Chains A and B, each alone.
Chain A
């Protein structure tokens, strides 16, 4: 589903990704672990299409199509979804209005009919309930005044509603207490599907107890330096990242 070949990315003349290769198959949950500053968020932004990063080399293929020239919304329409490490607040745009806008925008891009209001409400209600999101929150400005955990749950709510095919979760576990972590993990696990792939980015192994990955990749200095099965996460938990810092340097 996702194939990244030799991705080289700079920002403001500083090289962040250094010939990164990664492959994720349909149905797979791949985890990326790595020290702070190794380029994990950069990778997720570049896949989603953030402008300020300069891609110097390489390609990102989604189902065989290179998406590097596509606008972020075009990538979203092809099923790419990024749950942000730091979801943004948008005062003045109610969460409900926003959810309806994004769902219908993607449907329109795929030439599907817009959702009727009752159908939309039904879907939002069901998904919000699963994630223990209060109806009252949905009336507030998007993410405005939400706690860190509420913001993360709101990201997962959007993921559930948009039904993307390739989901990136960037440190969705950070800032969550154990109960919130379980709710979020449950939300993700429900969406696991043979036709859907996940890239779960995390600094800690903790999340992977709840979202059990098929593969684990270690990232250091802008590259994947080691790949393995889920046991690799446990090993990292015990040994830390020190070895990889040296290895990549």
Chain B
């Protein structure tokens, strides 16, 4: 059989060269190195995902990624770089800071972790072959995903976090990613959070750009949650306006567990946030939600795959997208209900508000149901601001721009109100207000 030689773009050629070049220098040997090779083999074979790949139909990385930026080294001024980060500054939390994907020990509260929480820097964990590494890659529906594979091939630092059984962690953990540089770079940080049975933890995650050069971020957070766990997660994408930002949240949720993950997206020229979640135990519930605000030529993709493999689990998804200018929003949400997953209750909603005639939204909600005794629903809407409401508000004296801002805030509010932590919610609402304030 003749060997098929795919035609590679310049970025794809560069990626292959980068990997060959780096594979022996990246932390970890033996099984870890083999894992990198396997992950990269996927990428080498398929290239960058493009619109002919169903899951990437609306987010064509092959045409968006012109050059593969070199993997970021630890910045010399790492502490100074993370000090430029502003996200969740007012939120009381234990911080783990990352500069261009590298853990910055001197800006992380490693010595002041709450009782029951242990953190191992990933670079060290990879080098020593830490047992928690075995928790990686557990979500079946995430297997083969491009962003996850790319991170698995190149992951250079991050953290392994363990929350011991029965611990109710009394302070939030803030994963603070600050990216910035004078020349282009790529990041591949990886976080694994093992939440043992009966434990509860709050995790805030922020991604900010503070530099001058465009960068390519690709973060992965994996959560392995045991039985009876509660995980509250909030996420902010305030990446640099010219950044390409891929992010993945992969979760395995045990029995009688509860996970909430909510977020706001304002940054990135192109961003894609993926959530892969597998219910692994009965009577668990999931809430996913977010508010995305886009303008200019931004492109933001939210892609979810929720895998109901066991009975009696609930999932709720509520995503709001506001699109101005020539920006594009993408929502792909798939709920899979496997034959055994009777009594599944799944409700997914994606609503988009178009503020300009050149704004675009692609909504693709999907239900794949193989069980018969389930309640599942999905909805997707895409509309403009209601003229009658605008008239009502302006007739009461509000200038048009103020009336529009009020209606947009109300639209996004429904998703942002789900954020339980008051300080986080206030910051996300304030960022939405700030975004509206910048409308011209």
Query: CA–CA, A25 to B268, complex, Å?
Result: 58
Given the contacts A92-B409, A92-B414, A101-B402, A51 and B396 also touching, CB distance less than 8 Å = no
- A34 interface residue, CB < 8 Å from B? no
Q: Mark A82-108, 1 if CB is under 8 A from B, else 0.
A: 101001101111000010011001100
- A162 interface residue, CB < 8 Å from B? yes
Q: Most B CB atoms within 10 A — which of A71, A72, A82, A91? A: A72
Q: Which of B394, B395, B406 contacts A93 (CB 8 A)?
A: B406
Nearest opposing residue in chain B for A97, CB measure: B406
Q: Mark B360-401, 1 if CB is under 8 A from A, else 0.
A: 000000000000000000000000000111011111111110
Given the contacts A76-B396, A158-B396, A90 and B389 also touching, CB distance less than 8 Å = yes
Nearest opposing residue in chain B for A107, CB measure: B397
Query: CA–CA, A109 to B410, complex, Å?
Result: 24
Cβ of A73: which chain B residues have Cβ within 8 Å of it?
394-400, 403
Q: Is A105 touching B399 in the complex (CB atoms < 8 A)?
A: yes
Distance between B413 CB and nearest chain A CB, rounded to angstroms? 4
Nearest opposing residue in chain A for B394, CB measure: A72
Q: Is A77 touching B392 in the complex (CB atoms < 8 A)?
A: no
Query: CA–CA, A82 to B394, complex, Å?
Result: 11
Distance between B432 CB and nearest chain A CB, rounded to angstroms? 12
- B210 interface residue, CB < 8 Å from A? no
Cβ of B403: which chain A residues have Cβ within 8 Å of it?
73
Query: CA–CA, A52 to B391, complex, Å?
Result: 10
Query: CA–CA, A73 to B409, complex, Å?
Result: 20
- A187 interface residue, CB < 8 Å from B? no
Q: Is A91 touching B414 in the complex (CB atoms < 8 A)?
A: yes
- A48 interface residue, CB < 8 Å from B? yes
Cβ of B387: which chain A residues have Cβ within 8 Å of it?
51-52
Q: Is A102 touching B397 in the complex (CB atoms < 8 A)?
A: yes
Cβ of B395: which chain A residues have Cβ within 8 Å of it?
48-50, 72-73, 75-76, 82
Query: CA–CA, A157 to B389, complex, Å?
Result: 19
- B19 interface residue, CB < 8 Å from A? no
- B411 interface residue, CB < 8 Å from A? yes
Q: Mark A54-89, 1 if CB is under 8 A from B, else 0.
A: 000000000000000001110111000010100110
Query: CA–CA, A45 to B402, complex, Å?
Result: 21
Query: CA–CA, A101 to B392, complex, Å?
Result: 13
Q: Is B398 touching A90 in the complex (CB atoms < 8 A)?
A: no
Distance between B248 CB and nearest chain A CB, rounded to angstroms? 30
- B407 interface residue, CB < 8 Å from A? yes
Q: Is A77 touching B410 in the complex (CB atoms < 8 A)?
A: no
Cβ of B400: which chain A residues have Cβ within 8 Å of it?
71, 73
Query: CA–CA, A109 to B392, complex, Å?
Result: 17
Query: CA–CA, A52 to B387, complex, Å?
Result: 9
Nearest opposing residue in chain A for B406, CB measure: A93
Q: Is B396 touching A71 in the complex (CB atoms < 8 A)?
A: no
Query: CA–CA, A72 to B403, complex, Å?
Result: 11
Query: CA–CA, A109 to B406, complex, Å?
Result: 18
Cβ of A102: which chain B residues have Cβ within 8 Å of it?
393, 396-398
A-facing residues in B66-101 (Cβ within 8 Å): none
Q: Is B389 touching A88 in the complex (CB atoms < 8 A)?
A: yes
Distance between B397 CB and nearest chain A CB, rounded to angstroms? 4
Distance between B412 CB and nearest chain A CB, rounded to angstroms? 8
Cβ of A76: which chain B residues have Cβ within 8 Å of it?
394-397
Query: CA–CA, A92 to B400, complex, Å?
Result: 18
Given the contacts A51-B387, A88-B388, A162 and B410 also touching, CB distance less than 8 Å = no
Q: Mark A226-248, 1 if CB is under 8 A from B, else 0.
A: 00000000000000000000000
Query: CA–CA, A247 to B282, complex, Å?
Result: 74
Nearest opposing residue in chain B for A143, CB measure: B392
Q: Is A91 touching B410 in the complex (CB atoms < 8 A)?
A: yes
Cβ of B406: which chain A residues have Cβ within 8 Å of it?
90, 93, 98, 101
Q: Is A72 touching B391 in the complex (CB atoms < 8 A)?
A: yes
Nearest opposing residue in chain B for A99, CB measure: B396
Distance between A101 CB and nearest chain B CB, rounded to angstroms? 6
Query: CA–CA, A91 to B407, complex, Å?
Result: 9
Distance between B308 CB and nearest chain A CB, rounded to angstroms? 30
Query: CA–CA, A102 to B406, complex, Å?
Result: 11
Q: Is B410 touching A105 in the complex (CB atoms < 8 A)?
A: no
Nearest opposing residue in chain B for A164, CB measure: B397
Q: Is B397 touching A71 in the complex (CB atoms < 8 A)?
A: no
Given the contacts A51-B391, A52-B387, A101-B402, A92 and B413 also touching, CB distance less than 8 Å = yes
Given the contacts A92-B409, A92-B414, A93-B406, A77 and B397 also touching, CB distance less than 8 Å = yes
Distance between B188 CB and nearest chain A CB, rounded to angstroms? 38
Cβ of A141: which chain B residues have Cβ within 8 Å of it?
410
Query: CA–CA, A71 to B400, complex, Å?
Result: 9
Nearest opposing residue in chain A for B402, CB measure: A105
Query: CA–CA, A90 to B409, complex, Å?
Result: 11
Q: Is A162 touching B413 in the complex (CB atoms < 8 A)?
A: no
The contact sample of 14 A-B pairs, CB cut-off 8 A, is A48-B391, A50-B391, A50-B395, A71-B394, A72-B395, A73-B400, A84-B392, A88-B392, A90-B392, A90-B406, A92-B410, A102-B396, A102-B398, A158-B396
List B residues at the A interface (Cβ < 8 Å): 387-389, 391-400, 402-403, 406-407, 409-411, 413-414
Q: State the 9 A-B residue pairs at the shortest beta-carbon distance, nearest first.
A: A92-B410, A76-B397, A72-B394, A106-B397, A102-B396, A92-B413, A72-B395, A105-B397, A88-B392
List A residues at the B interface (Cβ < 8 Å): 45, 48-52, 71-73, 75-77, 82, 84, 87-88, 90-93, 98, 101-102, 105-106, 109, 141, 158, 162
